[in-house]
Amino acid sequence: MGCGASVPNGKGRKRRSVVQEVAVFIPTIRVPVATDVVQPLRGLVSKELVDRLATLRTNVVALAEDIYHGDMSAVSELQRALEEYLPVVLGLTAKESRLEASVQFSWRTIDDDQECCLASAWYEVLSVVHMMAMLALFEANLKLIPRDGQNGTEKKVSEDSKKDVVDSLLRASGCLDYSVHHVLVKIPAQIKKGFPSYLQEGMLEAISIQSLAQCVEIQLGLASECEKATLSVKRRLACEQVSYFSKAHYCLSGCDTSDSYGKKLLLFLKWKCMDAKAVAYYYHALVLDKGSEPTNHISAVCCLSAADDILAESKRACLSFCLANPITRVPPPWGIMKNMHKKIPDVAYKKFQIYGHLFEQDKKSALQSLPDLPEFPLSLRPEDYEFPGTDSIWENVDCQPQIQSLKEHLEDETEESSK
């Protein structure tokens, strides 16, 4: 069984009724669907193990149902539930257990109820780690957009909260990076054919790198508020941000981005890359303007003009992102962009007023191409992530048929019939 549109049950499911505000982009949050893990495993492993697995997964299902409407404590509780469940479900992936394809695991997207059900324990493990990453991004977004703030006004986010956001982003990047290099490689190609688009290798890589890019975005915002941070440091961070967003965009070049998730992610990366380029050219111009030669000033004005043009394009790209399905809104400019929408056009105009005569004196230099942005080694790496050890409940499990007493068998039948 593969992926497809799920059929709403009689109770119905809660959809998002409000337009989400996005500072940190989350492509989609997938939640587990109630799955019968008891019947497929009955008689193969102990009743205690089956009950433990079923109980932990049921807890995750219950906590995940309303996560979009949850607060920080709800996110933390769900993260703990996933961390408790993962060591138990990992036991199904062990070769000696011969149980990897024994259970049909099902997950759905909260946005549109698209459901994907596959008989693969590795798919379940990948989905758990993917959800841990998405929750880390969700947590970062909550910290940057306090829910008690007034719409349309500046949000007050403390420096400590911004540093916590960086930690969350690095954790998300680490989970996704580990998924690409240590989980996807364990899954047969035939199973991966049934994957939804947002579990493609390139998509996971793109979100991992996007998380690093947004870490740099936070760091650059902090540097812009620090008197001790030099122009060179700010330029380096701005250029790194461009590199990260460009690299994330490149990861999608071989992916199927025809669905709403892929299109939304492409538009987000395009918008953020333009913002980053505008800031990078702005700081590059200020560094060049420190030079004493006329060509330095001409190059600086060219960079500022480019920054102004790119900034105008980024505003249009932001609107396209917001209007793409699912419709979102962005907070008022924050971090480094809070002042750039005024600074860039103002400084560009003033510098041209000062150095405009140089363009008349040296028209050949004035017509030169825009200087390239400097390239710097990328300083951030995904946070190290490793699987936890398999739960001790799997010790001495040989997966041979378990002999049940008549009483135990009848009790199991009674439980099944009462569901």
Where are the chain's structural domains? 19-145+174-197
Q: In which band, very low, low, confident or very high, does the pLDDT at 405 lie, cut at 50, 70 and 90?
A: very low
Check residue 207 and give its pLDDT: 97
Q: Is the pLDDT of residue 344 over 90?
A: yes
How far does Cα 307 stand from its chain's mean position? 27
Alpha helices in 145-259 (DSSP H): 159-178, 189-192, 201-224, 231-251
**What mean pLDDT do residues 9-19 have?**
51
Q: pTM score, two decimals?
A: 0.89
What's residue 343's pLDDT? Answer: 94
Name residues whose C-beta falls within 8 Å of residue 188's C-beta, 6 or more positions apart in sequence: 120
Residue 312 and residue 274: Cα distance in Å, rounded?
Answer: 9
Rounded Cα distance, 336 and 338, in Å: 6
Inform me whether the pLDDT recorded for 129 exceeds 80: yes
Contact yes or no for 136/168 (Cβ under 8 A)? yes
Query: Which class for 405: exposed (0-12), middle (13-18), buried (19 or more C-beta within 10 A)?
Result: exposed
pLDDT, tens only, 236-264: 999 999 999 999 999 999 899 998 889 99
CA gap 34, 246 in Å, rounded = 39
- pLDDT (tens digit, 9 = 90+) per residue, 217-243? 999 999 999 989 999 999 999 999 999
Average pLDDT of span 189-198:
91
Cβ contact 176:211 at 8 Å: yes
Per-residue pLDDT, averaged over 138-158, amounts to 73
For residue 7, name the pLDDT band (cuts at 50, 70, 90).
very low
Helix (H) or strand (E) holding 4: strand 3-5
Please give the backbone phi and psi of residue 19, each rounded to the nearest 5 degrees, phi first: -80, 120
Look-up: residue for tokens 């996007």? Answer: 210
Going through 19-171 in order, the beta strands assigned E by DSSP cover 20-21, 30-32, 105-109, 114-118
Task: Give the Cα separation of 188 and 191 in Å (integer).
Answer: 5
CB atoms within 10 A of CB 208: 23
